[in-house]
Amino acid sequence: MTKRFRISSIALLLLACAAPSGWAQGPGDAANRALWTEVESQISQLRDELGIDRLSPRVLEALMQVPRARFVPEDERRRAFENRPLPIGYGQTISQPLIVAAMTALLEVKPGDRIFELGTGSGYQAAILDALGAEVYSVEIVPELGARARDTLDELGHRGVQTRIGDGYFGWEEAAPFDAIIVTAASDHIPPPLIRQLKPGGRMLIPVGSRYVTQKLVLITRDERGAVKTRELLPVVFVPLTGTH
Partner 1 sequence: MRDPVPAAPLAAIGLLSASALSYEILLTRIFAIVHWHHLVAIAISLALLGYGISGTFLALTSRRLEGHFAAAFIANAVLFGVSSLACTALAQRLPFDPQALGWDGRQWLYLTATFLILAVPFFAAANCIGLTLWRFKGQIPRVYGFDLIGAGLGAFVVLIALAFVHPATGLFAVFVSGMLVAVSAARTLRWHTGKVAAVALLLTGLVASWGRPVVEPAAYKDLALAMSAYGAVVEDARSGIAGAVHLVRNDKVPLRFAPGLSLNASALPPQQLAVFVDGDAAGTLGDYSGDDSTAYFRDLISALPYLLRQPRRVAVLNAATGERAQQALALGAATVTAVEPNPELHALACDRRAQRSRYLCDPGRVDWRVQAPRAFIGGNAGPFDLISLTAAADPTGLDALNIDFDLTTEAFRTYLGGLAPRGLLAIEGPTRVPPRLSMRMLDTARAALVADGIAQPALHIAMIRGWQRFVLLVSRDPLQPSDEDVIRGFSTARGFDLVWLPHIRPDEPNRHQQLNEPQFFLQAAAILGPDAGADATAPRYRVTAANDNHPFPALSTRWQDLWATLSRGDRSAISRLDTGLFVGTAMLALVGVASIVLIALPLAWLRRPPGRPAQTGLRIRTLGYFGLLGIAFLFLEIAWIQRLQLFLGHPVYATTAVLAAFLIFAGLGSLWSQRRSDATGRSRLWLAIMAILLFSLLYLSYLPGWLERLAGLSIAARIAIVLLFLAPLAFAMGIPFPAGLEALGKGSAQLIPWAWGINGCASVISAAAAPLLAIAIGLDGLIMVALAAYLMLPLIRPAQ
**Buried b vs exposed e over 91-103: b needs ≥16 C-beta within 10 Å?**
ebbbbbbbbbbbb
| Cβ-contact 229, 220 below 8 angstroms | yes
Cβ proximity to partner 1: between 12 and 110 the closer is 12
Residues binding partner 1 (CB under 8 A): 1-19, 48-49, 84, 90-91, 141-143, 146, 165-167, 169, 187-193, 195, 208-213, 215-216, 218, 220, 228-232, 235-236, 239-242, 245
CB of 54 vs partner 1, minimal distance in Å: 19
Cβ proximity to partner 1: between 37 and 230 the closer is 230
CB of 17 vs partner 1, minimal distance in Å: 6
CB of 219 vs partner 1, minimal distance in Å: 9
Give CA–CA dist 167/180, Å, rounded: 18
Q: Of 29, 54, 30, whose CA–CA distance to 42 is shortest?
A: 54
Cβ proximity to partner 1: between 8 and 110 the closer is 8
| Cβ-contact 83, 97 below 8 angstroms | yes
Could you give the angle at the alpha carbon of 116 between the alpha carbons of 180 and 147, nearest 5°? 150
Amino acid at 75: D
Give CA–CA dist 52/37, Å, rounded: 16
CB of 132 vs partner 1, minimal distance in Å: 27
Question: Is 95 an annotated catalytic residue?
Answer: yes
Give CA–CA dist 191/139, Å, rounded: 14
Catalytic residue among 95, 138, 187, 210: 95
Cβ proximity to partner 1: between 62 and 234 the closer is 234
Query: Which residues form the catalytic set?
Result: 95
